[in-house]
Structure 1
Amino acid sequence: MVKFINVSKRYPNGVLALTNINLTIEKGEFVFLVGSSGAGKSTIVKLLLKEIDPTEGEIIVGEYKLTQLPKREIPYYRRKIGIVFQDFRLLPNKTVYENVEFAMQITGAPAKIIRRQVPYVLSLVGLAHKAKCYPHELSGGEQQRVALARAIVNKPSLLVADEPTGNLDPDTSWEIMKLLEDINKRGTTVLVATHAKEIVDSMRKRVVAIDCGRIVKDQPKGVYSYESSDNQVLLQRRV
C-alpha cells in the first residue's frame, strides 16, 4: 500500500529532515507515527501528500510512484487520500453538509451519489443532526468529526491524520480515535502522526517512532516509548 524506499529529505535551508527511511505499510493496517517535534513526522506526511519531494529515494502509494508523478496527476492522486489536520480546516461559510458535499463535488461525483453518500458519512461520525450547522456553531470535537467525514466521503484507500487530537480534550480525543479505529475496521489504511502517548499506549497498534529523521522503532502492538537521541546522550554522560 505505502512504501518508502531509502528516502531522504534535505530542505533548501540545509536541514536534513529524513535520512534513509525504509517503511512499508500494508493495506488495512493502522499505524501510529510518533516522535518529538522536529523528528520528521510532518515531513513524512507532506511527502505522502506530494506537497514536497524527497531528495533521494522512492515513495509508492498504491499504484502511484510519487517521485515519477507528473504535476497534472497530483490532484487526482490526492483525491484518493483522506487527510485530517489538527486545525480542522473547515470552510467557515459552508454548513456541515456543504463542507462534506464540497469534497465530493470537486471530484465530479454525480449529484445522486452525493445526496446518498454525504448523509451516510455524517451518520457514521454521529453528526447527522448537525448537517445544517456552521463550523462556528460546533465544538472542537464536532469540527474534527466533520473533518473526518470530509476525509472519508470519497472512500479513500489511505487516511492520514496529522495530530488529529492535538486541539481536543482527553475525552473527545478518545472519541476521535475510536472513529479512526472504526474507519480502519471498514478497510481503510490509517496512518496517525501523534504525540498522544496515553492513546498510543492503550490502543496497541503498530508504532513507528522517528527520531532525528530516522526510524528508531517499528513495533507491532507497540507503545509510544522509545529512546531518543537526547536520552542516549544523557545516558552516555552518566556512564
Structure 2
Amino acid sequence: MPMIDLRYGRESISLDIPDSFDVLFAEPEDDPLSDHQIGELLEDPIGAARIEDLVSPDETVLFVVPDATRSSGAGQIVNLLVRRLIANGTMPYDIAAIFATGIHRPVTEGEKAAILTPFIAQRIKTLDHGPRDLMRIVMVGELSDGTPVELNRALVEFDRVITIGSVGFHYFAGFTGGRKLICPGLASNRTIAATHRLAFDFERKARAEGVAPGSLEGNPVHEAFVEAASKVKVDL
C-alpha cells in the first residue's frame, strides 16, 4: 500500500500502511441491562422524580435524543419511558422525539426507527432540527460574552423536555451528552459556530487553554454549552 501523508498542525506525517492488518474491538465485559433491570431503576431515579410523578397526563413531552452519529442505546430508554407515560394517561400524540443533529445531516427514516426502536418511531411524532431554518429557531437569551443563544423552538413549546443520551470523551468539549444535546445539538448555525470557535486561541494559532478530551474545568467550550443549555428548562 502506498505512503499516506496526513496533515498535523503545520506539518505532515507520512504513514506506511501495511497491505493487511488486524482490527481490534473493545467489547464491554458485562451484558447490557435488560428492560426489567432498567425499569427497576426508573422506579427510583438518582436525583430525579419518577417520570409518572414528573409529567401530568395533560402535558406534552419532548424527548431529545442523539442523531445517528452517536451510539447511545437511547431507544431502549425512550421505549420504556413512553410506555410508562401512556400507562399514566399521556396520549401518544402529546409525545415527540427530536434528534439533536446540530449541523449534521438530517436523520433518515430508517435511522429514526433504529434510534427510537421501530415500535416507538411509529407511535410518537418525530421532529427534525434545522440549524439554518429560522422558522424552527427562537432566541432564548445571550451568553455572558454577548453571543446570541438560538435554539429549536420545540424546546419552549413543549411542557416537559427530557434528554436521553450517552456520555463519552469529546475531543474538545470534554465529554459528550448532557448539555450537548441542547447546544450544539439543537442550536442555530450561528450559535454553534460561535461556541465552537471558543476551542481555538487565534493569537497563538493553537487550541485554547482548557480545551481537551475529558476536560471540563476551565474548558471555555463546555462552559458555553452549559450556559446556553441553561437558557431553557430541561426537566430530566
Could you say which structure has the greater relative contact order, defined with CA pairs below 8 angstroms and 6 or more residues apart? 1
Larger fraction in helix: 1
Alignment TM-score > 0.5, same fold: no
Give the structure with higher Rg (CA).
Answer: 2
